[in-house]
Every structure is written in structure tokens, then in C-alpha cells.
Structure 1
């Protein structure tokens, strides 16, 4: 009985390995996990538009071992600015990873704000963070200058 089960399991694994394209198996490259929309890519470039501001994270938390949503950057938006819906994290200056932004109107996470300022929390997918950590990119992930959020001045 055990031998039959082991043979069936082995045949199943071999079939999956042969039939499923390599790109769809198990660990995917993070770029497919953290798709970057054009607006987030633009936030990482060197735009000279004066109606937008490139904001770097004030604080970064990298604790994926604590569970989901424990890799994030905290951005302080100046008064009169509205954040983009996505932020970008650059690693090695050539790899860009993105995440969604959530807005807060009060101080949080130990970051104080001035009247009129707002806090934006940018969450990076845990699987993307784990991928980067296994590749030895923890220092790059913890650098505030690598986390960028584009904010537009409100009319």
C-alpha cells in the first residue's frame, strides 16, 4: 500500500514538472508578483514636474516573519498634496517592485506629523519581500531612499 502511494505521488510530481511551464511553477519572479503600473514607474524616474513631489519613506518596517502586511514604508505627505495609489521600491537600480498605498489622517507608527500633513502607508507584498530577503537584498529593502511615492499638489 505504501509503495503504491509513493509511486503515484512520484508520477504526479513528474507529470506536473513536465506539463506545467517553468514560469508558472512554485516561486515566481517577484516582478510578476508586484506588478508596477505606469504611475508607479513614473514615481521612480527623474521627473522635473513641479506639481508633483517625490517622497521617500520616513520609516521602513521589514518583518515578514511576523505575518502578512509586515513589510511597509511610512511616507509623510506635505500639506496640500495627494498621494499616488502605488509606491515603488527600487533594488539594484534596475529592479522595481510596487505596492499599494493606504492613507491616514493622524499620526501613527511612531511618526509625528505637522498640521495639514498626512501619512501614507505603502505595503510591499510579503512574498516579494521574502524573495528579496532570500536574494540578500535586506539592506536595499531597508533604505528609505529606495522607497518612493509620487504626490501631486492639489489645485
Structure 2
């Protein structure tokens, strides 16, 4: 795959990340529609441990999602019969989220879709470039976590 270096100089890193993620999200949502689902539901299914369940309080941070958005998704998933909520024996106030049989089936579909996407990318992009991509995203996340992006040391 060739790339237009002149155009690349004009595109900001955040624009490339955002535009790419929006394209991926659209693709996943279109695919999820075929199974009467959404990308958010698929992502949630993949974040729930299929054997031991997952504490509801651990899901938000694991998915990088606000509690209110997650609560809405979980409510809709429960109505559709994809998950069950049970009291957490280790935490009196906590709830464990478990997959139902249908939830497990939908989880497997989501997993298959994600693996297909990853395999298709790996067929087109050599391993070294993929490792570079992960290194760049890790650096971006570290700079954000360390609050080093908007310090006075960055020159324009």
C-alpha cells in the first residue's frame, strides 16, 4: 500500500486516529446490524468473562466508558436476554454480570468479527509496521496518562 506523503504532512495525528476509529466503528456497527446488535453491545459482550462473570464496577474502566452509558447498554442487554445480573458474593453492594446462553453466542460472533478484522489488516500490513503502530499508540496513551501533552515544554 503506497501512501501520499504530502497529504500525510497535512493530516494531524488526532485527525487520523479519529477518522480511522470512526470508519472502524461504522464498519462494526454495519456488521452488528446483521445480528440485531451494535458495536457497543459486542464490545461489552467481549469485556465480560464468559466463565466467571465480571463485576459491573470493573466493566466501565475496562471499556473506557462512563458509568451512565454502560448502565444504559447493560439495561438493554438484560432486556434482550444477553446478560444476567447476580449479587457479588465478595461485595455486598456489588453486582456480577454473567452471559446467558444467547449472550455467549453473540459474544462468539463478536469475537469472530474482531478476529476477522485483525486478520484482514495483518494480511495487508507487515508485522514491523503493526508493531510500530502499537508502539505509537502506547506512546500517545503514556503521554496522555502522564499529562505531558500540554506542558510548557512543547514547542509549536
TM-score (normalised: structure 1): 0.26
More strand by share: 1
More helix by share: 2
Q: Relative contact order: is structure 1 or structure 2 higher (C-alpha 8 Å, sep ≥ 6)?
A: 1
Query: Which one has the largest radius of gyration?
Result: 1
